[in-house]
Amino acid sequence: MAYGTSVRPGIQIRKSKDLIQWQFVGWAFNGIPSLAANFITQHGGTPNQGIWAPYVIKVNQEYRLYFALSSSIPRLSVIELAVSSSPEGPWQERGIVVGSLNDNTIQTNAIDPSVVVTPDGQQWLYYGSAWDGIYVLQLDPSNGLPLNPGDKGKRIAQRGFTNGKINGNIEAPEIIYNPEFKKYYLFISYDWLETKYNVRVGVSSKPDGPFYDYFGNDMNTEQDHLPMILAPYEFMNQSGWQGTGGCAVFQDDSGNYYMAHNARPGVNKYFMDLHIRKIFWTSDQWPVVSPERFANIPQSPISSSELVGKWEWIVFHYRVVPGFADEQVSPDFQSSQVIDMQANGSFGDQAGNSWTLQYPWLKLSWANGSQATVILSRERDWENHDTTIVFTGLNNEGMPIWGKKIN
């Protein structure tokens, strides 16, 4: 995709040693891969001139690249697998993984692949968008194709009702296994990719679920699930970021986790940027993301005296809108408010609000009974071209709460 110009179809390859500076390497394919294109044409469609949602994983000495191709016909989509001995290619087409057809079959859209390898070597593919939620499909570890040819898997996540119908604005599953907690984490994007895109998370002890939300509900039940860990937001001195979904989650050699995701500036939803944020883990083992993009700022302990002063806080909410058309129009920005953190352990204007520090944890208690334990770090203040202290966490309603100190 490109804004204001044309772009050749394919998958770009970029590499980085620090997640900050990126070098363009080249393209994974010269044109639309033939196996995916043939699947579309054989079922009466015209292939789109763009490949969606690449996902690459290394299995032994082989790199496996999963990608999606959609068509002129709704629901007619396909996920294909290509392989290489190098992340820079060349890539050889191996086979069709799963497809979806424009018929009366109850089936999700075959796009947005993500793969996890279990501790005992099983491999599972997660995929889906709209129509019938998120699916999981077991793969053959020897070749990366379905363990049972023709299998489409089973649904493991869906949304609630809007206007009397199941809301189909759910897509882009991303899966990781956290060996410390021995849990699988399923990240899912809700709503429209240009505006209100936001990320939810479910957790399971098994790769094929069931996955549970923040309140212990099965994510395959007909409701919207929490926690929400990222949504369109706006700090002062910047237009804000919308379309904050479609995430990838990965780990570096030091064990740190990161989330990369799409983001579009508030001034124009057609520009597309890559954001990368560090992931932190709450005391009850939920992932949360930094309010600021990763810049590899050196970390050091933070004292109580450093917290005193004015902050920008964002306490996220979620506004239910009537239907899909409204979700395309409004990003529902979560905007910051200026909050005073005082040396006596209080904050804001409401008597009874209090904070206590046990670094790196900051406990926030509101007079109305709300609570949140957030984690502190030093990060780049991208809106003000500086460095500062930030915090991130979840409140007891399963919503993110972010803070950034004003220098």
30 residue type, one letter: N
Least confident of 5-19, 64-78, 302-316, 379-393: 5-19
Which tokens in the block code for residue 158?
């869906």
3-state secondary structure of 69: strand
Burial-class residue 33 by CB neighbours within 10 Å (0-12, 13-18, 19+): buried
Q: Dihedrals φ, ψ of 100, to 5°? A: -130, 145
Scan for tokens 């191709």, then name that residue: 69
How many Å separate Cα 351 from the centre of its chain? 37
| pLDDT tens sequence across 292-329 | 999 999 999 999 999 999 999 999 999 877 666 677 78
| Per-residue model confidence (pLDDT) at position 1 | 67
Residue with more model confidence, 102 or 376: 376
Cα separation, 268 vs 279, in Å, equals 27
Tell me: pLDDT of 139 over 90.
yes
SS3 75: coil
Each residue's pLDDT tens digit, 248-258 = 999 999 999 99
The mean-pLDDT minimum among 149-153, 165-169, 195-199, 254-258 falls in: 165-169
Average pLDDT over residues 373-390: 98
Asked if the model's pLDDT at residue 44 lies above 90, the reply is yes
- Is residue 324 classed as helix, strand or coil in its secondary structure? helix
- In angstroms, what CA-CA distances link 263 with 213, 247, 345? 24, 10, 36
Average pLDDT, the chain: 95
In 3-state terms, what secondary structure has residue 321? coil
Residues 144, 83: contact at Cβ < 8 Å? yes
CB 278 within 8 A of CB 290: yes
Residue 8: predicted pLDDT: 84
What's the rounded Cα separation, in Å, for the pair 355 and 164? 43
Q: What pLDDT score was predicted for residue 10?
A: 84
DSSP 149: T
pTM for the full model? 0.97
Token couple for 76? 């007619």
The DSSP bridge pattern shows strands 233-234 and 334-335 to be parallel
Q: What is the spatial distance between Cα 376 and Cα 263, in angstroms, rounded to a whole number?
A: 24
* Residue 324: per-residue pLDDT: 66
Q: Is 304 helix (H, G, I), strand (E, B) or coil?
A: helix
> 131, 141 in Cβ contact below 8 A?
no
31: region left, alpha or beta (phi > 0 left; psi from -120 to 50 alpha):
left
Angstrom distance (rounded) from CA 29 to CA 47: 15
Q: Of the candidates 81, 33, 34, 73, which has an alpha carbon nearest to the alpha carbon of residue 54?
A: 81
Domains and CATH numbers, the chain: 12-289 (2.115.10.20), 304-405 (2.40.128.10)
For residue 213, the model assigns a pLDDT of 98
Do 224 and 249 form a contact (C-beta atoms < 8 A)? no
Look at residue 125 in the predicted model and tell me its pLDDT.
98
Kindly report, residue by residue over 64-113, the tens digit of the pLDDT: 999 999 999 999 999 999 999 999 999 999 999 999 998 888 899 999 99
3-state secondary structure of 37: helix
Instruction: Give the strand pairing for 361-365 and 354-358.
Output: antiparallel
- 140 vs 121: CA distance, rounded Å: 10
Q: What percent of the chain has pLDDT over 70?
A: 99
